[in-house]
Amino acid sequence: MASARHEEILEAALGVFAERGYRGASIDAVAERAGLTRQGVLHYYPSKKRLLFAMMRLREDLNRQHVRSDWNDPDMPSRLAEALAFDQGIPSLAQVHSVVMAEAVTGQEPARGFARERYRELIDMLTEGFTGRFGEHLPSGLTPRTAATALMALFEGMQQQWMVDSDDERYQDTVRETMTVLLLGAQPAGERPPDTRPASVQAG
């Protein structure tokens, strides 16, 4: 019963935080949406900060299950692209993440501290995974930490794009193709770079 109650509160909180941001959200609003009293919510989550972190941790745990699936998978770019597609399937979690990140960049706490810790943890996790598979350098020539940092930047940027333009269906393909180059130093399947040689050389 306790687990079910936790889920009910988190579901209600996702809607409230996505609509109002951290500062605009309140325990009272979450309680109303969940059909509980204020004390009922506080029994499970003693503060708004704890509730926020529970939502963000839920999202991170779900994403890490996808990213960590198999570091030796020969088609790692596709697995990473699937992680982005998974995020698209739960837009409320992505919305809360975006709200928190927007508050983090303006220096608002606790969003800033949480975001800083999150980036460090995820980049460390990716760096460790890339190092275990590739060693000190990836086939692309990048170091594992550089590749991990670039991957995080790509994911963050792509997430923002699909949240404002959900009609574009190429986000997953874009991540897969970019990761193929970034991680493996290989040409994306089905694509050929333009031949920039002079016409006389091409003919020969």
Q: Which domains does the chain have, with CATH numbers?
A: 55-189 (1.10.357)
- Of 82, 9, 83, the residue nearest 51 (C-alpha): 9
Q: Which two tokens stand for residue 39?
A: 């004390």
Confidence check: pLDDT of 167 > 80: no
Q: What is the pLDDT of residue 138?
A: 94
Confidence check: pLDDT of 198 > 70: no
Q: What is the pLDDT of residue 29?
A: 94
84-90-91-93 Cα dihedral, nearest 10 degrees = -90
Q: What is the pLDDT of residue 7?
A: 84
Q: What secondary structure letter does DSSP report for 37?
A: -
Q: What is the pLDDT of residue 197?
A: 42
Instruction: Output the CA–CA distances (angstroms, integers) from residue 157 to 46, 84, 171, in the order listed.
Output: 33, 11, 10
Q: Which residues contact 161 (CB under 8 A, 6 or more apart)?
A: 168, 171
Average pLDDT score over residue span 137-143: 94
Instruction: Output the CA–CA distances (angstroms, integers) from residue 58 to 90, 93, 136, 186, in the order listed.
Output: 11, 9, 32, 34
- Convert the pLDDT of each residue in 27-75 to its tens digit: 999 999 999 999 999 999 998 878 877 887 777 676 666 555 567 777 8
- Convert the pLDDT of each residue in 74-123 to its tens digit: 788 887 777 777 666 667 677 777 777 888 888 888 778 888 888 898 89
Q: What is the pLDDT of residue 150?
A: 93
